[in-house]
Every structure is written in structure tokens, then in C-alpha cells.
Amino acid sequence: MKLSTNAAALVWSDGPQTETPCTGRSELFFPKASQEPDAPSKAERRAIEVCAGCPARDWCLERDLVESSTADRIIGVRGGLREADRRALHRQRYGKRPAKRAGVTW
């Protein structure tokens, strides 16, 4: 199965078993983010529409949330959500990592 560049880096499980609508369209999923917190940009809306009927949507979203070490590493549209929404979901799920203090190693 061939995945888009957007999803290819996520394959460490079986992943989706069917062709996905994003295949070959990775540029669509990295639009300029909207400056409005509650309103996606036109480009973000286009990417979200592609995700809407995708059989791998939940898998893609879950992989993105699990593999993003911090909410700040989340970019683009994935799993039908724009980055602002996924960052909020990531913070809700995992909280915010405390600031690194001098002399403290994690």
C-alpha cells in the first residue's frame, strides 16, 4: 500500500489497509495556518475535506498525537483536524511538559 508523504512517516503499525485520499497529495496537508483560532483558512478547509471520508482518518490522527513529543511539533492538517485543533487535543490529552530548568535532566 502506498501512503502520502504526510502519512508515510507514521507507518510503524499495519496502518490503513486501503488506498487513502491523501496519496500523492502531501502538499495539500501543509497549508499556511489560519490566524483565526476558530476559523480554518481556505487551504485548511480543502485539506480537511479530503480527510473527511478517509478510512484511515482516526489512525492518522492517533499516530500524529502519539508521535508528536510536544504540541509545538504539530504542523499541517492530519486526521481531519488542523494544527490548532490537534495542538489543543494534544495538550488536553498529555498536558504541557514543564519548562526545562538549569541543571535538571529529563
pLDDT classification of 3: cutoffs 50, 70, 90: very low
Q: Tell me: the pLDDT tens digits for 16-37?
A: 667 788 888 888 898 888 788 7
- Residue 94 has a pLDDT of 86
The average pLDDT across 41-46 equals 92
Whether pLDDT at 49 is above 90:
yes
Closest by alpha carbon to 88, among 41, 42, 53, 37?
37
Q: How many CB atoms lie within 10 A of CB 32?
A: 9
pLDDT classification of 61: cutoffs 50, 70, 90: very high
- Residue 104 has a pLDDT of 41
